[in-house]
Amino acid sequence: MDRTRARALAKQFVEAGRPTGWFEVLYAEADSGTAVVPWADLQPNPNLIPWLDQHPAEPGRRALKVGCGYGDDAEELCRRDYDVVAFDVAPTAVATCQKRFPDSKANYVVADLLDPPAKWKRAFDFVLESYTLQVLPPAQRAAALSNVAEFVAPGGTLLVIARGREPDEDRGLMPWPLTRAELLQFESHGLTIVEFEDILDNESPPVRRFRVTLRR
């Protein structure tokens, strides 16, 4: 998938001090047919499905999808009997979810990970963060990571899926792979790592991913 436009917008907005402002621009351009959202495969994240298969949900458990995009992961969580809230900073993304899934059980809302609603603090039994931290620059990533951690209720679970790299590897272009040390920072926010998977996905060529399960 072509990331040229997304990378140009990210660079422009980060340099202007608006590190999340480019998401709405990209989704609006995609809605008009002049750009593409490179992470929008219009299907659930293939690195999520095996995890869900191994961790069946108890019906009615509250779940939060961070950065819902076009809604496929949120819909998968609904199919797995979660009570789902899914948010994105881009209003066009949220509106597209509501159009794609008019009868959805998920509650799609516009919200900013860097300034989330206070009522979400420690309110969710399951939190899914996939591919959002990796598109935020380091200056905002620490705050975003802290907020993600604070969504997890006592006894709840956080699943993080991200591109991975070694500390001495070039971080390259957006999306910026995360290091193990960055993800270990979740433990300073009251979470415990249950499983840390270092995997190669099925893309061509394969992409290194970290899939991390944590619990409060």
Q: Which fold has domain 41-215?
A: Rossmann fold (3.40.50)
Q: Looking at the predicted structure, is the pLDDT value of residue 38 above 80? A: yes
Task: State the amino acid at position 142 in one-letter form.
Answer: A
pLDDT in tens, 118-165: 999 999 999 999 999 999 998 899 999 999 999 999 999 999 999 999
pLDDT in tens, 43-65: 999 999 999 999 998 888 999 99
Task: State the amino acid at position 70 in one-letter form.
Answer: Y
Task: State the amino acid at position 104 in one-letter form.
Answer: S
pLDDT of residue 2: 82
Angle ∠(133,135,141) on CA atoms, nearest 5: 45
**Domain ranges for the chain:** 41-215
Contact between residue 42 and residue 75 where contact means Cβ atoms under 8 Å apart: no
Contact between residue 159 and residue 124 where contact means Cβ atoms under 8 Å apart: no
pTM over 0.85: yes
The length of the chain is: 216
Reply yes or no: is the peptide bond before residue 205 cis, omega within 30 of 0: yes
